[in-house]
Amino acid sequence: MKKMRYIKRKTSVLIFAAVGVLLIHLYKDMSDHKNVGSDIEEKPPTAQTAPKVNSYVYSWPKCERNISAANISGFSTLPAHIQDFLYYRHCRHFPMLLDIPNKCGGPEDSSQVFLFLVIKSSPGNYERREVLRKTWARERQRNGLWIRRIFISGTAGSGVEKMRLNKLLQVEQKLFNDILQWDFADSFFNLTLKQILFLEWMERNCPNTRFQLNGDDDVFANTDNMVEYLHGLTDNDGGKHLFIGHLIQYVGPIRSPENKYFVPVQVHESNSYPPYCGGGGFLLSGYTASVIYDMSKSITLLPIDDVYMGMCLAKAGLKPESHMGVKTAGLYIPSSKLDGYDPCFYKEVLLVHRFLPMQMFLMWHRIQNPELDCSSSFKVL
């Protein structure tokens, strides 16, 4: 009997031990499954974490206006926005409100970005940014080549409105990690400043991107075609000069005060501009972007940003070139009886300016349709 009790007791101990071991393994297994589930649902850290603070960009003191600009001959007769431009023309550094220093994977790995989409956008243009994220500016690989996106912006409005718009960009940044914002007034006459601030940021964070599309947030860009065109260049991997778009030459400043592009002699004395490409959108190599930034350091700011790019190229002894696939002045439709938004008109182009968000969304999906048949186009309405 004692031997039987001993055996039962020993058996009970072994059973409890086995159950204990089983429970430990079950707990560990459940924990592992829980961790795996979190990893699947978790977004990349860069999309969740707040933008990193880079002490370099926060070190600039507030730029004060140059009161001596008021001594320029005829200054008092100029429109207020041009007076303001002249007061602050010397200002080239502003604090960053939103930054993404690791957008390209760090300076050393930025060569992995084949086409960097640099899109000029004002704070209030939320609908445009949302459509672009879902269409041609979607970050993806095309034929194994990475397309990355960034929106560049200043600030708009004042008081509560400015605060609200800044908050909007902060929310977008947290969700999409694709906005650079500086603390300067986002206006037409500050587009050149926006370009220079971006180029400075690029030299610091993304110096080796292969190619860039620089354009507005209301252009329709066939980025698939752009990748194929750029990748097909036989002698340029981004390390040589390239600057293509809708070429404009043999023109000069518009001197009419009523015109949006009015540039008085107090801003630009010469009556001619160098050749340049329309600012709605152009393609350039990483090499050329770096050259433009270097040249800009010694060229006085001009408020018309596309002309200013041409000035930087001219100083470097480089030229912009025309590409028939870039239509910043709009796409020519041969007859008013044809559908101006027939996707067959747009399937082979690189870029067209300009589109409304709804038109953009629809056109992108129509040209992506593998069943699109352009053999019988174009039908008269």
Where is pLDDT greater, at 18 or 161? 161
* Token duo for residue 216: 């507005």
In one-letter notation, the amino acid at residue 304 is I
- Let me know if residue 16 belongs to a domain: no
- Let me know if residue 38 belongs to a domain: no
Domain of residue 108 covers 48-327
Q: What is the DSSP letter of 334?
A: S
How far apart CA 215 and CA 212 sit, in angstroms, is 9
Instruction: Pick the closest to residue 313 from 288, 333, 285 (CA basis).
Output: 288
Tens digit of pLDDT for each residue in 236-293? 999 999 999 999 999 999 999 999 999 999 999 999 999 999 999 999 999 999 999 9
* Number of compact structural domains in the chain: 1
Where would I find the beta strands (DSSP E) of the chain? 96-98, 113-120, 140-142, 145-155, 179-185, 211-216, 219-221, 243-245, 247-248, 276-277, 281-285, 321-322, 326-327, 351-353
Is the pLDDT at 15 greater than 80? The verdict is no
Instruction: Pick the closest to residue 288 from 247, 243, 322 (CA basis).
Output: 243
How far apart CA 38 and CA 24 sit, in angstroms, is 21
Tens digit of pLDDT for each residue in 339-374? 999 999 999 999 999 999 999 999 999 999 999 999
- Let me know if residue 130 belongs to a domain: yes
- Find the CATH number of the domain harbouring 160: 3.90.550
pLDDT band with cut points at 50, 70 and 90 for residue 47: very low
Mutual angle of helices 286-296 and 305-315, in 10-degree steps: 90
pLDDT band with cut points at 50, 70 and 90 for residue 3: very low
Instruction: Pick the closest to residue 172 from 40, 343, 51 (CA basis).
Output: 51
- Let me know if residue 109 belongs to a domain: yes
Cis peptide before 354 (omega within 30 of 0): yes
Q: What is the pLDDT of residue 46?
A: 42
Q: Which residues contact 337 (CB under 8 A, 6 or more apart)?
A: 380, 381
Residues written for the chain: 381
- Let me know if residue 297 belongs to a domain: yes
- Partner residues linked to 243 by β-bridges: 284
- Let me know if residue 333 belongs to a domain: no
Tens digit of pLDDT for each residue in 180-232? 999 999 999 999 999 999 999 999 999 999 999 999 999 999 999 999 999 99
Task: Answer positive or negative: Cα dihedral of 219, 350, 305, 174.
Answer: positive
Q: What is the pLDDT of residue 107?
A: 95
- Let me know if residue 361 belongs to a domain: no
- Let me know if residue 370 belongs to a domain: no
Q: What is the pLDDT of residue 335?
A: 86
Q: What is the pLDDT of residue 165?
A: 98
With the CA atoms of 206, 296, 329 and 135 taken in that order, what torsion angle do they form, in degrees rounded to the nearest 10?
A: 10
Q: What is the pLDDT of residue 30?
A: 40
Instruction: Pick the closest to residue 261 from 340, 178, 349, 189 (CA basis).
Output: 189
